[in-house]
Amino acid sequence: MSVVTIAYAALFYVATAVLVVGLALKIRSYLRTPAPLKIPTTPAPTTTSGVALRLTREVVFFESLFKASKWTWLFGWLFHAALLLVLLRHVRYFQEPVWAPIVFVQFFGTYAGFAMVAGLAGLWARRFLVDRVRYISTPSDHLHLALLLAIGLTGLGMRFVAHTDIVAVKAFMLGLMRLDLQPLPADPVLLLHLALVALLMLVFPISKLLHAPGLFFSPTRNQADTSREARHVAAWAAALDKK
């Protein structure tokens, strides 16, 4: 077993653990922090199913962003939708046999790679071209985009320019999942691609990538407008009533 294989196996175990445990801890902290007042941005739905619909529109269509800025919406939605297809396409490297829906998505996932890169490029361009967005951009904002773009470009490179030994890669991934290490091809583009993905997993729970779970816990979006009908007292606030 080569050093590279062992190192990458270790990297992916650690990255997966950090991603899962880190996100779980974050979500637990969101769950444990009470929302002591009703603060939905109104007009807001008055029922739970209405709230579910509102959140679905936010997650699927980026409704609020669409209202805010058509360019950011276009690039942002393009990137996220393409990323979803690309991720679905990659599921085939983690299962044998491959589910029919994953087989179906291969074609779309392959070309979505270009849309993903285009979306990222658009988002990044805004950070240079729009003076307001330039002002608020931090080094970490640029690095996140660079990271995602590099992952996309190395992926496209392996698919369209210099093929890697994908059968061996799949064997390595399946081996990781079965705790039975298989050799990883020492292809530099592949190693870069995988290292960047692991880095993305590592930074997820400690970075702005937390916007993904954050949306579901945002009181302005996930609360129903029932202030007059139902009380909404947090434990620490209830203590004031007892004084």
Partner 1 sequence: MATAAFETPKLKPYPVIPLVQVGAMAHSKPYVASPKIQEAVGFPGELTEGWEQRAVAKMGELLGKYRSLRVYMDACVHCGACSDKCHYYIGTGDPKNMPVARQDLMRGVYRRYFTFAGKHFPKLVGAVDMTKDVLDDWWSYYNQCSECRRCSVFCPYGIDTAEVTMAAREIMDSVGLGQKYANEIIGKVHRIGNNLGIPGPALEDTLLGLEEDTKEETGLDVRFPLDEAGAEVLLVTPSADFFSEPHVESLIGYAKVFHAAGIKWTLSSKASEAGNFGLFIGNYEQMRNISLRVKEAAQELGVKRIVVGECGHAWRVAYSFWNTLIGPFDWLDPRYPVPQHICEFTYDLIQQGALKFDKEKNDDRIITFHDSCNVARASRMGSMPGGQFVIPREIIKAVANRFHDMAPGTTHEATFCCGGGGGLLTDDLLELRVKGALPRMEALNNVVQQHGVNFMATICAICKAQFSKVLPYYGFDMSMVGGVHQLVSKAIRLGEPH
Amino acid at 232: H
Give whichever of 73 and 93 is closer to partner 1, judged by the CB atom.
Answer: 73
Could you tell me the CA-to-CA distances from 202 to 37, 44, 113, 239 in Å, in that order?
Answer: 34, 36, 22, 40
Give whichever of 187 and 225 is closer to partner 1, judged by the CB atom.
Answer: 225
Rounded to whole angstroms, how far apart are CA atoms 106 and 91? 10
CB of 126 to partner 1, least distance (A): 7
Could you tell me the CA-to-CA distances from 197 to 40, 179, 219 in Å, in that order?
Answer: 36, 20, 31
CB of 146 to partner 1, least distance (A): 13
CB of 148 to partner 1, least distance (A): 12
CB of 7 to partner 1, least distance (A): 23
Give whichever of 186 and 234 is closer to partner 1, judged by the CB atom.
Answer: 234
Give whichever of 165 and 225 is closer to partner 1, judged by the CB atom.
Answer: 225
Contact positions vs partner 1 (CB under 8 A) = 26, 29-30, 33-39, 41-46, 58, 62, 64-65, 67-69, 72, 76, 123, 126, 130-133, 135-141, 143, 203, 206-208, 210-211, 214-215, 217-221, 225, 227-234, 236-237, 240
Give whichever of 2 and 33 is closer to partner 1, judged by the CB atom.
Answer: 33
CB of 133 to partner 1, least distance (A): 4
